[in-house]
Amino acid sequence: MTLETAAVPAAVYRASGPWSQVYLDVSVDTADPPQVNEERRISATDRLAAAGAPQADIDAVAEAMATADPAGGERCLFVLVHDGEVVVQTLLPGRATEPEIVAYQPVPDLVPLLEHRPGDFAHVVVETSRDGGEIRLYRLGDTEPVVDEAQQGRTDTLHKIKGGGWRHDRLQNHTEEIWRRTQAELATTIDRVVHEHRPRLLTIAGDIRARQLLEGELSAESRAILTVVPVDTHADGASSEALDEHLDSEIARILADDKKAVLDLVALHEGRGDNRVESTLGGVVHALASAQVDTLVIDAERLREHELLALATEPWVAAAPEDSLGAEVLDRVPAPIALSRAAVLTDATVLFTDSREAPDAQDDVSGSLPSGVAAVLRWRTGPPVPGEE
C-alpha cells in the first residue's frame, strides 16, 4: 500500500528490504521530444534489471513512471518498491537535490525525500473572495494538498448597491455585514486547520476587501504565521505566478532561518565548550548510536564520499563492524543515508544544507560544518563544564 510521504521515513527504515527505487528529474520542457518520458522509463527499467531487481519490481516502477504526470515546471519523481508493491510514488516539486537514483539495494536512499520535505513543514494557502474561499494545506515536497476545503457564503447581495440615500446606506451596511460573516466563517475553518496541523506559514490571497475582513477575524495563532499576497487570484485573467513566487520566497526564508538558528546554536555551544554539540563525523556517529542527537545537520555533498554501516536494529549506525554491538549489518552505504536513517529512527530532527548553493563563503550556512555534519545533543558529553550545573 502506498504510504503518504509524511509517513515514509521511519516506516520504511524499520522495514526489511531489498528495495527498488527511482529518483529522477522528470521536468518537461517545451523543447523536449514527445517520447522523452518513455525513453526515461525504458532506461530506468533496463538499469533496474541490470542491478538485479525482480521483474515484479521492474513492472511496478514502469507503471509508476508511465502514470506520473509532471504537469509542467520542475519536478522530480520518487518511486520506492518492495516485493512488487509500490510503497512510495510521489512527484516532488523543484529541481533535483541529489544525483539521480536507479537502484536495487538493501537500504533505501530517502535523502531526496528528506531534502525536499525538511522536517514536517506544512503551510496553508487561502484564496478568498466576498462569497467564500478555498483553504489548502500542503506538506512541503507534496504536489497535492493534505487538506482541501471550500467554503461558500451568501451570494444574494455581493455587489455594492447603486444609488443613494438612507436605503442605499442600509443595504450597503447589510452587504458589508454578510461579507464579514462569510469571512468570519472562513476564519473559523482556517483557525481550526492551523490549530490541528501546526503549519509554519499561512498565506492569504484574493479580493482586497475580503482579505481585509478575513485578517480581522483570524485568531492570534493564525495571525502569528500570516503573510498576505496583494493579488486577487480569482479575478478575470489573473495568474497564480505572484502567489507561487511569494510562497517560494517565504518558505525559503523560513528554512534558511531554521538552518541559521541551528548552526548558530552549534557555534554557540562550540564556543562555550560545554559538550552540547558534536562536529566531527566520528563524534556524530557515536551520538546517534546513543540516541543522543536532538538535531542533525548534514551537508550531503561533502559527505557523499564517506561510507558507514547501516544496521538492522539499534544502534542503527556504526563506523566499523566492531561498533555494531551485535546488530546485523544491512549494508555499507554513503554517510548521508546512514546518518539521516539513524536520526529518523531515534526521533531526531534532520536538516540539510548545501555549500554548492552559497554565492560566497560569507553566505555559506554550511561554513560551520567543516566535516560536513554537526549535531546538537539532548544531553552533554564528557565531564561537567566548570560553572555550570
In the block, residue with C-alpha cell 509508476: 64
Q: Which pLDDT tens digit goes with each residue over 328-339?
A: 999 999 999 999
In the block, residue with C-alpha cell 544531553: 379
**Is the confidence at residue 370, as pLDDT, over 60?**
yes
Residues 6+ apart with CB under 8 A from 51: 102, 103, 104, 105
Mean pLDDT estimate for the chain: 85
Q: Please name which of 363, 364, 344 lies closest in space to residue 355, comparing C-alpha atoms.
A: 364
For the chain, what's the residue count?
Answer: 389
As a whole number of angstroms, the distance between CA 345 and CA 310 comes to 12
Q: Please name which of 332, 263, 347, 348 lies closest in space to residue 299, comparing C-alpha atoms.
A: 263
| Per-residue pLDDT at 368 | 55
pLDDT band at 121 (very low <50, low <70, confident <90, very high): confident
Q: Which pLDDT tens digit goes with each residue over 252-269?
A: 899 889 888 988 998 899
**Is the confidence at residue 195, as pLDDT, over 90?**
yes
As a whole number of angstroms, the distance between CA 367 and CA 354 comes to 10
**Is the confidence at residue 2, as pLDDT, over 90?**
no
Beta strand extents in the chain (DSSP E only): 19-25, 75-82, 85-93, 101-105, 122-129, 132-139, 147-152, 201-206, 226-228, 277-278, 293-298, 307-311, 317-318, 329-334, 349-352, 373-377
As a whole number of angstroms, the distance between CA 368 and CA 370 comes to 6
- Which helix H or strand E contains 272, and what residues bound it? helix 241-272
**Is the confidence at residue 383, as pLDDT, over 70?**
no
| Per-residue pLDDT at 211 | 92
pLDDT band at 244 (very low <50, low <70, confident <90, very high): confident
Residues 306-312, mean pLDDT to the nearest whole number: 96
pLDDT band at 382 (very low <50, low <70, confident <90, very high): low
CA atoms within 13 A of residue 300's CA, in its CB half-sphere? 20
pLDDT band at 353 (very low <50, low <70, confident <90, very high): confident
Q: Which pLDDT tens digit goes with each residue over 149-181?
A: 998 866 555 455 455 554 555 555 667 788 888
**Is the confidence at residue 225, as pLDDT, over 90?**
yes
Q: Is 25 helix (H, G, I), strand (E, B) or coil?
A: strand
As a whole number of angstroms, the distance between CA 309 and CA 101 comes to 20
pLDDT band at 389 (very low <50, low <70, confident <90, very high): very low
pLDDT band at 357 (very low <50, low <70, confident <90, very high): very low
| Per-residue pLDDT at 72 | 63
| Per-residue pLDDT at 9 | 86
